[in-house]
Amino acid sequence: MPIEVKHLTHVYMPGTPFEAKALSEVSLSIRDGEFVGIIGHTGSGKSTLITHLNGLEHSEPGVVFVNGVDLGEKDTDLIAIRRVVGLVFQYPEYQLFEETVAKDVAFGPTNLGLDAGEISERVQTALKQVGLDPASVSEKSPFELSGGQKRRVAIAGVLAMRPSILILDEPAAGLDPSGRRDMFDLIRGIHASGVTVVMVSHSMDDVGRLCDRLFVLNRGEIAYSGTPAEVFVHESKLHAIGLDVPECAKLARRLRDAGFDMPEGIYRTEDVCAAIMDNLTQKGDAKC
């Protein structure tokens, strides 16, 4: 099991007037090669949770495990863990700092002490992986690039560490619709290459389309978990905690209430379209 969390509780600034419980008794496990979504509104504990997964926040022994290694043990090599678990923060382009794109992407591998040939091979591969042409961008300043390209460079910097688990915090925030589509295609590609992906998001639409399994966080606790279909069934409760289900899931529920025969838990546009067609061709006596 690449990630295993057992009863994780986290309190910020304990013993001060600002004491705040960010996570309470969170348990979850993420399987090899899964694409998992973590969703919740601001302050629900999403960011605190993911910073535990690569040891940026320290946990007690016996709570957080990555590939069987207990991150809370004193002698655990957290640097090694951070090579395995790549973390892409929100707006990662703000972290770019080097003179050239190639140097920025090379920063991590260089710190690993790899030789020059290996570093340059990793930089090239990572840039290609994020859809940038190494020949044309390598020597540019990262600050000359567009917002979407900068973000790709930042992700390439994490990929160059060759993580087997990649965690992304709101990777599409602030991008325009076509930029979002491209970003999600990119992440799908990374996942297809065998990387376990954990994506944090506010958007049920996005996680519904991409993820195999979701964890919904509310006030530091896991409120719901399961496949998107299993989670979207809780439409009204999700709404109460500030989350929305995809539009098509709402439509399916409305139509079901009106007497349409709609399968439980459908939310994809294509599936809802097909179910509607089945109903219209049968002709029942629905009332609205």
Binding interface with another protein (CB under 8 A): 41-43, 146-148, 173-179, 202-203, 205, 242-244, 246-248, 250-251, 254-255, 258, 260, 269-270, 272-273, 276-277, 279-280, 283-288
Minimum CB separation from another protein for residue 90, in Å?
Answer: 9
Structure tokens at 258: 């009106």
Minimum CB separation from another protein for residue 203, in Å?
Answer: 8
Q: Which is nearer to another protein, 8 or 248 (CB)?
A: 248
Q: Which is nearer to another protein, 192 or 280 (CB)?
A: 280
CA 27-158-29 angle, to 5 degrees, is 15
CA–CA separation, 274 and 157 (whole Å)? 42
Minimum CB separation from another protein for residue 77, in Å?
Answer: 35
Minimum CB separation from another protein for residue 91, in Å?
Answer: 8
Q: Which is nearer to another protein, 27 or 90 (CB)?
A: 90
Phi, psi of 161 (to 5 degrees): -80, -5
One-letter identity of residue 41: H
Structure tokens at 149: 């390209």
Q: Which is nearer to another protein, 61 or 147 (CB)?
A: 147
Structure tokens at 54: 């690569």
Phi, psi of 232 (to 5 degrees): -70, -15
CA–CA separation, 181 and 184 (whole Å)? 5
CA–CA separation, 231 and 225 (whole Å)? 6
CB neighbours (10 Å) of residue 108?
24
Sequence length of the chain is 288
Minimum CB separation from another protein for residue 273, in Å?
Answer: 5
Q: Which is nearer to another protein, 193 or 282 (CB)?
A: 282
Q: Which is nearer to another protein, 20 or 192 (CB)?
A: 20
C-alpha dist (Å) from residue 80 to 60, 211, 222: 18, 27, 28
Q: Spell out the SS3 assignment of 161-187.
A: CCCCEEEEECCCCCCCHHHHHHHHHHH
| 196: Cβ contacts below 8 Å, ≥ 6 apart | 2, 3, 30, 31, 32, 33, 34, 35, 36, 164, 165, 166
Minimum CB separation from another protein for residue 188, in Å?
Answer: 18
Q: Which is nearer to another protein, 193 or 236 (CB)?
A: 236
Minimum CB separation from another protein for residue 38, in Å?
Answer: 13
